[in-house]
Structure 1
Amino acid sequence: MAIPTTMFGILALVALVVPGIVFAGVRAWLRGYKWSDQTAASRVLDAVLVSVILDALYLWAFGALLAPILNDPQGELIANPSSLGFATVVLGLAIPAGIAFAWHADMTWTKPAWGWWPSWVQIPRRRSSFESTPTAWDKVAPRHSDVWVKIRLPNGERVAGWMSGKSFVSTYPQPRDIYIQEQFTISADGSIGDRIPNTGGVWLSITDGSIVEWINEPEGDTDT
């Protein structure tokens, strides 16, 4: 796909993509990812479809105001930059985000648990439990630090080690894997043993069927 070089081409590309991307981003934040969000092609198609619908509605409702911009976008940019910027924010960002929020948000008004908050003042909160993070691994795995980790692979092999600041886990859209900075022995019953001499860490691919267990270090036991 060739990148447009004319002002009209750039404007057309923005109009065909940006409103849909904003709509999809707010929708994913509110309701989580759909099955069609798994590939880039389907995401682009959804964004273009939403953008085309919104652009048609914009032309129907604000055609007279948008006609000068479409006729001479570069001239309008030079003559009225603030007006063009305002229109871009409203039509490209605010309206798509507002529609996505009104369509997909499941809100309720509740009183916060803070003791100092006035009882008669309520704030909106999401009632649904949808999560925009793609998987539980993506949500939880990167947050673990200064913990023991035990992994049982699909073939029955066990690996254990200590995770801290030099460890790393990969997340979506990359395949799951983990780097454990210090490897320890592990017995058949799952007990973690001694530190492997001269360990430089171990890398593992976390395939389907693997079991990963994180264990918080016992209080007062900091010798790894």
Structure 2
Amino acid sequence: MNRLRPTQGGVKMLPQTWVQILIILVTIIPGFVYQITRRTLRGPSPDELEVPIRILRAVSTSVAFAGLYILACRQSLLDLFRSNETTKGDPRYIAAIGLLLVIIFPWLAAHATFYFTTATWWLRFRAKIGAAVRKRFGLRRAYTPDPTAWDFAFRRTGPTWVRVLTEDGRWMGGWFDESSFASSYPHPRELYLEKSFEMKEDGAFTGRVAAESGIYIRCEDIVTIEFPTGNEPSEPGKSRPEE
């Protein structure tokens, strides 16, 4: 089998220099790095279950990153790619630039986006401004991508008390914080509370720890779930939320 080779005056199909390889990587890879990092931090969303959608989003994000690079440092990039020293120089120099543009910047952008958009102050500010704008112009509430009320609640809640009522009339609950976990769609509704507290028959917390290492609750068949207000549990007898 004959291999295709670029001919005199023809179109070169394969990259010939390290710079050309870098250009190809910058226009393809950053979006995948951003999407993978964002998915690791935020978790999978329902509209990303299909592989073609994830690929399309990653490619679109790569194009956006390439556009931002050009807008932010167009002349610097042109000087870099046209320089003979860059083209013929140490590949390690090109590799360092590639790591910045292809891996590090998208990774940092994903982390910054996640922490900014999930910060409590930002969520409260957005809700307040959104309500004011909707009221002023008579707009309807913007669509939320959360597929269920369960996802909507736990994506926006911070450290809080949680209690659930089971079908057999038992109350179970405890403290939900950084070491706790709530499943998301399309997985079954499951809840892990990092610290469980004993509860009365009417659903009131007693303040006595029932499970210091946490409790797992399968929530597919629960009657209700509540988020009482109250301070973080610290001392016995002073840990109960406000009833």
Give TM class, smaller chain. Answer: 0.3 to 0.5
Greater RCO between the two (CA within 8 Å, min separation 6)?
1
Looking at secondary structure, tell me which structure has more strand per residue: 1
